[in-house]
Amino acid sequence: MKVLVTGARGYVGSRLVPLLLAAGHDVRITATSSPDPDTLWWLSHVEVARTDVLDADDVLRATDGVDAVYYLVHDLGDADFARTDRQAAENLAGACVTNDVGRVVYLSGLVPDVPREDQSAHIDSRLEVEQILTSAAGVTALTLRAAVLVGAASTSFEIIRQISTRLPVQPIPTWMKDCRVQPIATVDALAALVGALTVESGSRHWDVGGTEVLSYGDLVATYGEVADLHRLQIPVPLLPTGLVGALAGLLTDVPKQTVESLVESLHHDMVCADDEFVRDLLPADHRLVGLREGIERALDRAQQDLPGEHRDPMTLMPQDPEWARRSF
């Protein structure tokens, strides 16, 4: 199958491409500039389409002749990310209709069970993109909704890791002790994405999550236990989300705008409605990675002595951003 991967140099995309190649697919990637062959070991095995996803003509050319598209574009670093995400999604939807692309697979975020007007701007934008892709005539749009991806260089995981490392005493907003999350190991999300390429289905979404549901405070505490960090958590009432996001942005190397946008989403439960993705998207013998095992694999520094193509996708990769690598 001829597959286009947008966002192929990002956290998920750069780990997905070698899996698609191993499965025998013909892969094209989009890039705004020339990718670095020294960090992307698989680069010589793919076709590169120089593409600005905000340019409709670029997207039209990139989707020409492909059977399916992975849509892994989401720019939380832009203050007006909702507008840019909308434009990029509309460009892709239009190009897929014009070029008779049969399928789009989109990685989104878990949607809390609250009214649309109460969703964070981040989740609301994700939902809007999903709706735009689903409305493309003749295109099967499959959305995978995930919460925290457990793996080194995952944005949410890096926020937890860096705050846990740098704060011996951790003030935890009381609302974070009440809200629950269902993280998923990066390798499990990748397996589901690969499965979505060939599953027989009409347009729909799947919630994808791991084996454990816990509060955000307990997630941070579990990380500390696995990482052998002895940290004291102090519950703090009445901390507004905006202040928590601003402080987290100052305490981590993750881009500040991204941190603030993600923290805004923590006020609601991010838990799967069901586990149908296990049946529909994963191989029959696939075993979901537990939270503690996922953290251990993410922190396995021995993997750094291996070339990229031989590393566990859960750990740090040569192509991961400097803000993740410099403090690992």
The pLDDT of residue 79 is 65
For the entire predicted model, the pTM comes to 0.95
The pLDDT of residue 147 is 96
- The per-residue pLDDT for range 86-118, each reduced to its tens digit, is 999 999 999 999 999 999 999 999 999 889 888
Domain parsing of the chain, residue ranges: 2-325
- The per-residue pLDDT for range 31-58, each reduced to its tens digit, is 999 999 989 999 999 999 999 999 999 9
Q: Which CATH architecture fits 2-325?
A: 3-Layer(aba) Sandwich (3.40)
The pLDDT of residue 328 is 66
Tokens 């989104």 found at: 108
Which residue numbers in the chain have pLDDT < 50? none
Tokens of 317: 């990769």
